[in-house]
Amino acid sequence: MFDYIFFDLDGTLTDPALGITNSFKHALESFGLEIPSYEKLCSFIGPPLVDTFRTQFGFSDEKASLGVLKYREYFAEKGLLENAVYPGIPNLLSDLKDAGKRLVVATSKPEEYSVKIIEHFGLAPYFENVCGSLMDESRSKKDQVIEYALERNQINDRGKVLMIGDRKHDILGAKKTGLKSCGILFGYGSLQELQTAGADYIAGNVTELKDICLQ
């Protein structure tokens, strides 16, 4: 059914919790703010950074932009590679590629960072390309990233594309751009979150995800 498989990065291909939570701690400490619990910090994995600073901490647009800069002070130096590929993902990507699927990363993380992560963990050979946001936080909404990925890969038939992700933003972005979506439960979103967002499929593990992609 699907010729193209779009993958979110954080919480889908890799577990970025250590790097992201440490980067948020660094940013919040620079503003003298109390550090939320680890569980709360993990809930920030997925949405665009600038939105998190606005909605979770009440930052103005200007202060949110500064928050992103402080976050990246740590992330660019250390947090980028405080990360780990989920078990089974390399084999999944290999099997999908062998089956003729064309794989693309579609993430709200800046493309510059995303390319480095994909290359560092040896995943680059599986993907046609890596599509992400810009460093100025533009093109950070998931539907914007998906539209960019569709254009970059010259895809006209949206019915042949499946978007995979662990948070509601992935599912809602897919719906907004006319794609089918699959929510995965080994990331940072809950079953309720993904169902409420309207995921077309739900995969509890990598084996189930492979079956959905190859149907």
Q: What angle do CA 149, 154, 158 make, to 5 degrees?
A: 75
- Percent of the chain at pLDDT exceeding 90: 96
The one catalytic residue among 8, 10, 166, 170: 8
Q: How far apart are the first and last CA of the chain?
A: 6
Residue 114: how many other CB atoms lie within 10 Å: 22
65 Cβ contact partners less than 8 Å away, ≥ 6 residues apart: 50, 137
Please give the Cα distance from 106 to 165 (Å, whole number). Answer: 9
pLDDT band at 136 (very low <50, low <70, confident <90, very high): confident
pLDDT in tens, 27-67: 999 999 999 999 999 999 988 899 999 999 999 999 999 99
> Is 10 among the catalytic positions?
no
- Percent of the chain at pLDDT exceeding 70: 100
pLDDT in tens, 137-153: 789 899 999 999 999 99
pLDDT band at 18 (very low <50, low <70, confident <90, very high): very high
pLDDT in tens, 184-205: 999 999 999 999 999 999 999 9
